[in-house]
Structure 1
Amino acid sequence: MTMTDKQKEIRGKILTELYLRGPISRKDIAHNTGITPATTTAVTGELINEGIIEANSLTDNDSKSKKRSGRKKVTLSITNNHSYYIGIELSRHFLTLYLINNAGELITKQHHKVEILNFTNDETINYLLAVLNNCLTNYHSFNIRAAGIAIPGHFDKQNQRIASSSEWQKFDLSRLINEAAIPLFLENNVHCMSLHEHLISTTNKGENFVFFHAVQGIFSSSIYNESLYGNNNFSVGEIGHTIVYPDGEQCECGRFGCLQNYLGGFNIMKKAQRSYNQNPHSILKKIVANPADITLPKIAEAYRLGDTAISEIIEEAINAVVVTLNNLSMLIDTSKIYLHGPLFNEMITHQILTEYLSYKNLYQGLPEIDFDIIPYEVTNGARGAAALALYHSLIWSQ
């Protein structure tokens, strides 16, 4: 079916409403979107016929509805077997894949340990195509409509490259896009995860939020007025090089006191390894046999056991987070900040962060910062990429 741009816009608004607030009645869809009831009825009828949504009657115990109208209220919701979407995350040390149905439910996921940066451009493209085609073959009976690729940077559409540090810019993705058997959509990995939280997560119903991601690099993505904010401006969200300690350590960017120095996973590990090597009484020596075995969970364990140097590293990192969250809460009209990264998975980190936020609200008179921790898993980027494919291919079909 060929649609005009206006028809695509109306359809996209209605589907967005169903993903964010379904099950929902036609009346409420029309009220929330400003689309006329007649048009809402016509478009939702088409979506039902296509198998994308379904009508549901409320149960008989909904007495208020029965008394009011004498009949059951009908709501609409997304089906779970209309179409399927692949997500792939391209990262320094791994490649992950996530397959979902159109309701966002997991079908399968994969984790491949691979050093992508050691590959040539052709080797990388061949590997990505092989992973994609293997999934299409294994699930050939599924209606897989599109794939999303979560990348460690921004996608330069004009040059079809990753606009990031020089190590990723060498990859020309044009052949991947041209040779893929299904449509591909590429986006920054944190923007992808933010989209998943917006569309698929049951905890968010269309509210503004910030998705704060800290693994090796640090980035924040925002959903504002039900859309990704600033994703076409590559500077927006690059908070790793905002200054949290003006007289702090020098960063690789040349400035002093950048957030990246204190919260970046690589820098935390490097500081812990330095403490291990320099301090003969380091508690880390009782936990790991050599500094190469130090991980964030091991660092958290050393903190719990009272390692003084590790306590300083962790508390310095959390204080930097608090400064950043205070700043973000002033810059963006948001009701929630989601924290994502392996450090935030540690219960002790959550406890310190809660304590610091309770008395270190830097700007008196502002409401307390409402934050939630999204459990970090290595496949979360691929999960977000699958949501990206669903967003572009189904909701806002191009």
Structure 2
Amino acid sequence: MARPILLLNCGSSSIKYQMMDAASEQVLAVGLVQKVGDAGAGTLDHEVAGENFQLEQRFENHTVALEAVVQMFADHGPDLSQAEAVAHRTVHGGRMFQQTTVINDAVVAKLKELYGLAPLHNPPGVAGIEAARKALPDVPHVAVFDTAFFANLPDEATTYAIKHEVADALNIRKYGFHGTSHQFVSAKVAEFLGRDINELKQIVAHLGNGASMSAVDGGRPIETTMGLTPLQGLVMGTRCGDVDPGLFAYLQRKYGWDVNETDSFLNKQSGMLGLTGKTDMRDVKALVDAGDPQAILGRDVYVHRLVSYIGSYTALLGGLDVLTFTAGVGENAAWIRAEVLQRLAPFGVRMDEQANEVRSKEPRRISTDDSTVTVLVVPTNEELAMARETLAVIDG
């Protein structure tokens, strides 16, 4: 029997969605709304059964955008009234939410209390939740939290070295993000290898425009790169990742910036964009191949940070069985994987060059048989993970 679930991912100016049959795990429809809240016209692209339908109009807010999405389903299918639930990707659950949760008014109110922890992510997410509950009031709505997989990290990993009274009062700790992906991929690794996940020491590198890494010991995460916010850790498309915390005050003193200007600079104008002028790794590679010195430096900084964390996490795990690359860059940028693995060669990590160049939507091994660490590429599927989580919750 079909079990359709509508999956929503609401950003500040966009809505990504899928309709998935959670029983067969078949994707029934995909769509994207862009330029929500802009003064000009936005676009809605809706794909079903291999056909693409587009709408151009102004989407004043998420409510208007969700109404347009509902109408697109009504006009072109599939039948949205058959959806058993709506799943919302929710970035920050704070200490309040440590598992997938059915949404009610009290949950929405608590999510609003978390705005300060994720000012770039939670407000549009909540706006999407409110709009979707209004547009589809007769089905359960479920929040799937990016932070849930990391809710039980060891205290030594989550605790910042600041006055504990302040940390406790303001809920300041490492939360971690991309948890849905890290959980899905680490489980898929064990399935692919035919191994018991409880026996595996894993590092998962989720490399996309947003990037994070996790150390997973026996299926349980013990460390991750993102922290209180998604700014900490690896170099990303527009986010700086790790910097000296004193940089915030330094920039404000030198430029007279307020906290919002500083936050925007480090979140939206830094990372690979700041280093190379590009956010797409294909564009960065073209510059590297052309010998652009700034792009070469950007690549080296990106790889240096990855290798540093791999070394650190291997020590924390007490060894390493599997290193897995996933997400847009991790799955598709063979040249980045090669750069990382070349630096790990002194430790017996051996890359199969031909296997590394293969492009596939299937999990694959890219290390040789004599490598001290198994290296995999495993495509992530956060939407499938969300659908599974939602089905488990609504089935009780």
Distance in 1 between residues matched to 2:183 and 2:18, nearest whole Å? 15
Q: TM-score w.r.t. structure 1 length?
A: 0.54
8 Å Cα contact 2:307-2:340 kept in structure 1:
yes
Q: Which of 126, 143, 150 lines up with 2:89 in the alignment?
A: 150
Specify the alignment match of 1:390 in structure 2: 388
Specify the alignment match of 1:175 in structure 2: 130
Unpaired runs of 5+ residues, structure 2, are: 43-58, 97-106, 147-176, 252-264, 350-370
Unpaired runs of 5+ residues, structure 1, are: 1-80, 274-291
Deviation, 1:302, is: 1.9
Change (3 A) 1:253 1:92: farther
Specify the alignment match of 2:182 in structure 1: 194
What is the one-letter code of the residue matched to 2:338?
Q
Alignment of 1:212-227 (within 5 A): 212-220=205-213
The answer as to 2:10 corresponding to 1:95 is no
The answer as to 2:276 corresponding to 1:269 is no
Change (3 A) 1:266 1:106: farther
Specify the alignment match of 2:168 in structure 1: none
Change (3 A) 1:267 1:218: same
Distance in 2 between residues matched to 1:115 and 1:211, nearest whole Å? 33
Alignment of 1:293-372 (within 5 A): 295-332=280-317, 335-344=321-330, 345-359=332-346, 368-372=372-376
8 Å Cα contact 2:284-2:295 kept in structure 1:
yes
What is the one-letter code of the residue matched to 1:99?
M
Distance in 1 between residues matched to 2:84 and 2:221, nearest whole Å? 22
Change (3 A) 1:308 1:360: farther
Alignment of 1:224-263 (within 5 A): 235=227, 240-241=232-233
Distance in 2 between residues matched to 1:235 and 1:384, nearest whole Å? 20
Distance in 1 between residues matched to 2:310 and 2:247, nearest whole Å? 23
Distance in 1 between residues matched to 2:38 and 2:314, nearest whole Å? 36
8 Å Cα contact 2:9-2:16 kept in structure 1:
yes
Specify the alignment match of 1:123 in structure 2: 61
Q: Secondary structure at the match of 1:182?
A: coil
Deviation, 1:215, is: 3.6
8 Å Cα contact 1:96-1:110 kept in structure 2:
yes
Specify the alignment match of 1:37 in structure 2: none
What is the one-letter code of the residue matched to 1:124?
H
Specify the alignment match of 1:108 in structure 2: 29
What is the one-letter code of the residue matched to 1:336?
V
Deviation, 1:241, is: 4.0
The answer as to 2:165 corresponding to 1:165 is no
Which is bigger in relative contact order (C-alpha 8 A, separation at least 6)?
1
Identity of aligned residues (%): 6
Q: TM-score w.r.t. structure 2 length?
A: 0.54
Distance in 2 between residues matched to 1:349 and 1:384, nearest whole Å? 23
How big is the alpha-carbon RMSD for the aligned residues of Structure 1 and Structure 2?
A: 4.8
Distance in 1 between residues matched to 2:90 and 2:233, nearest whole Å? 20
Q: Secondary structure at the match of 1:166?
A: coil
What is the one-letter code of the residue matched to 1:313?
G
The answer as to 2:5 corresponding to 1:85 is yes
Count residues with an aligned counterpart: 280
Change (3 A) 1:142 1:159: closer
Specify the alignment match of 1:203 in structure 2: 192
Deviation, 1:352, is: 0.8
Distance in 2 between residues matched to 1:336 and 1:92, nearest whole Å? 36
Change (3 A) 1:335 1:85: farther
Q: Secondary structure at the match of 1:240?
A: coil
Distance in 1 between residues matched to 2:37 and 2:215, nearest whole Å? 28
Deviation, 1:269, is: 1.9
8 Å Cα contact 2:12-2:120 kept in structure 1:
no
Deviation, 1:297, is: 0.9
- Once the two structures are superposed, residues 342-365 of structure 1 have per-residue CA deviations (whole angstroms, 9 ceiling, x without a partner) of 443222212111101212689xxx
Deviation, 1:318, is: 0.5
8 Å Cα contact 1:86-1:99 kept in structure 2:
yes
8 Å Cα contact 2:206-2:325 kept in structure 1:
yes
Deviation, 1:160, is: 2.4
Q: Secondary structure at the match of 2:84?
A: strand
8 Å Cα contact 2:227-2:233 kept in structure 1:
no
